[in-house]
Amino acid sequence: MMNLVTDVSELTVAQTRRALDARELSAVELTAAFLERIAQLDGEIGAYLHVMHDVALAQAAAADRRLLGGEVSPLTGIPVALKDVLCTIDAPTTAASRILEGFRPPYDATVVRRLREQGAVFLGKANTDEFAMGSSNENSAFKPVRNPWNRDRVPGGSSGGPAAAVAASLATVSLGSDTGGSIRQPAGFCGVVGLKPTYGRVSRLGLMAFASSLDQIGPFARTVEDAAIALQAIAGHDPLDSTSSPEPVPNYGEALTGDIRGMKIGIADEYTVDGMEPGVARAVAAAIVRFRDLGAELVNVSLPHTKYALPTYYITAPAEASANLARYDGVKYGLAIEAPTLRETYERTRGEGFGPEVKRRIMLGTYALSSGYYDAYYVKAQKVRTLIKRDFDEAWSKVDAIVAPTSPTVAFPLGARTDDPYQMYLADVFTIPANMAGIPGVAVPCGLSEGLPVSLQVLGPAFAEGTILRIADAYERSESWSARRPDLPGAAN
């Protein structure tokens, strides 16, 4: 007899789909089991800011009716967690910020709407660094997220909540956003699969903007197959998003052949930095050897401007954040602290509503955009960004994809870097280049170091999600790392 709370939480999307379709399990039973597990475990982990209990059960009941009527989509009845920067009409969307505490949007994000149309079940809004600004999920205004593998460690950021939810079996799949690595880095720290699509592959409508030229929505999952299923559900052109691409969406499932013989995989020396942990280096090196064993050809490539990606990002992203966050002024929505003058109202609302990291980035961005510094900083950063993209374009003439570490370290202790922003920002040194170039990347577990997950990322040309998923899937099939689970009640290790 299936123990619902412990057993169904371990199923992949594909396995759950088969169980639901075969009537071995109802969507209501499945959802109730997840809600019970969240109640048992999330007080310790902090993956959720808002549990959509009643909404989830109602959606599950509707999914069961669809199943009885034969109206089945790949995500019908599948429990999903949504990063709390995605607008939801039936639940608060706060971006983990006091300035939006209790705010309910009047519309759904396009990705949320598409999941609703498929009959997915929304378990809740997942925790995040405030306005997606952070690499550890310690910047949430409400509570930090703890890594399910070691509750004294960070889960990564900014999408620490969605990553931890999947890792701790508090959701089957989740959606996050990636501006400089905010899907891939926490996926790596939490030992799950995380996919950042090409910029424009997925609509950003209803995503609370951090840096508009960099933000992209993508899935967290237990397997590469599950990530492909989730991407299939949310990808595609959105006429309401001017940055959304009309590029046709292929069938990503068909790309998962398990065969990468003859494919050319690039290895770049630039993805080795001082301070890279030996355990991470060993695990990634072993994974690279495995790609060769699987029949791929390893090719050395050069990305000489990659070393400039981190400083370029920390000019570009804060500058765009400074402009985007100007809308939170206490007048239109969210927190409003009244004062004798309009200026004082702005100052008090923003001063009390925003946390330290958000203020830091607003000030950095405002400075970079200010008169006398715009050309010296922002314009120069855009020129360097072009050089970074050109390096990747040159590499694609030689290889099908590039494999690199996701992060130079495993998950670091809570509080270890909160007083050192520079060290915190270095956690994203390997993920930021893909955002600067607008290309897709998928992080997949590749080992353990100090008992914590190590991850590698597969990067590919724009709109080559099928290629990187194929490579990541072939590697995943050859190893057992994606099947490993943290030591939690009901987890299979």
Would you give per-residue pLDDT tens digits along the chain (493 residues)? 345 655 899 999 999 999 999 999 999 999 999 999 999 999 999 999 999 999 999 999 999 999 999 989 999 999 999 999 999 999 999 999 999 999 999 999 999 999 999 999 999 999 999 999 999 999 999 999 999 999 999 999 999 999 999 999 999 999 999 999 999 999 999 999 999 999 999 999 999 999 999 999 999 999 999 999 999 999 999 999 999 999 999 999 999 999 999 999 999 999 988 889 999 999 999 999 999 999 999 999 999 999 999 999 999 999 999 999 999 998 888 999 999 999 999 999 999 999 999 999 999 999 999 988 999 999 999 999 999 999 999 999 999 999 999 999 999 999 999 999 889 998 999 999 999 999 999 999 999 999 999 999 999 999 999 999 999 999 999 999 999 999 887 555 5
Instruction: Pull the structure tokens for residue 385.
Output: 């960004």
8 A C-beta contact, residue 260 and residue 296: yes
Residues 6+ apart with CB under 8 A from 296: 260, 261, 262, 263, 264, 265, 471
Residue 301, beta-bridge partner list:
268
Which contiguous run of DSSP H or E holds residue 45?
helix 27-45
Could you give the CA distance from residue 69 to residue 89 in angstroms, rounded to a whole number? Answer: 27
For the sheet with 452-459, list strands across it. Answer: 48-51, 121-126, 79-83, 173-177, 217-221, 193-196, 441-449, 452-459, 401-405, 264-268, 297-301
- Full domain range(s) for residue 249: 4-270+281-302+394-483
Question: Residue 84's domain is classified under what CATH number?
Answer: 3.90.1300.10
Which contiguous run of DSSP H or E holds residue 404?
strand 401-405
Neighbours of 257 (CB within 10 A): 10
Marked catalytic residue, from 73, 83, 136, 244: 83
Instruction: Pull the structure tokens for residue 365.
Output: 């961005």
Domain assignment present for 93: yes
Chain center to CA of 375: 32
Annotation says 397 is catalytic: no
Which amino acid, residue 123?
L
Marked catalytic residue, from 135, 136, 140, 158: 158
- Radius of gyration of the chain from its Cα atoms, rounded to whole angstroms: 21
* Residue 332 pLDDT: 86
Annotation says 158 is catalytic: yes
Residue whose pair of structure tokens reads 């990067």 in the numeric block: 459
Domain assignment present for 119: yes
* Burial (CB count within 10 angstroms: exposed 0-12, middle 13-18, buried 19+), residue 22: exposed
Domain assignment present for 292: yes
Instruction: Pull the structure tokens for residue 116.
Output: 């609703």
Residues 6+ apart with CB under 8 A from 132: 83, 85, 95, 158, 159, 177, 179, 182, 208, 210, 215
* Burial (CB count within 10 angstroms: exposed 0-12, middle 13-18, buried 19+), residue 103: middle
Could you give the CA distance from residue 438 to residue 199 in angstroms, rounded to a whole number? Answer: 5
Domain assignment present for 379: no
CA nearest 30: which of 71, 72, 80, 91?
80
8 A C-beta contact, residue 131 and residue 325: yes
Could you give the CA distance from residue 285 to residue 6 in angstroms, rounded to a whole number? Answer: 35
8 A C-beta contact, residue 36 and residue 29: no
Task: Look at the chain and report how many structural domains it folds into.
Answer: 1
Could you give the CA distance from residue 465 to residue 487 in angstroms, rounded to a whole number? Answer: 32
Annotation says 177 is catalytic: no
CA nearest 319: which of 455, 405, 211, 400?
211
Marked catalytic residue, from 97, 182, 322, 482: 182
* Residue 275 pLDDT: 84
Residue whose pair of structure tokens reads 């950063």 in the numeric block: 381
8 A C-beta contact, residue 395 and residue 266: yes
CA nearest 47: which of 133, 126, 104?
126
Domain assignment present for 259: yes
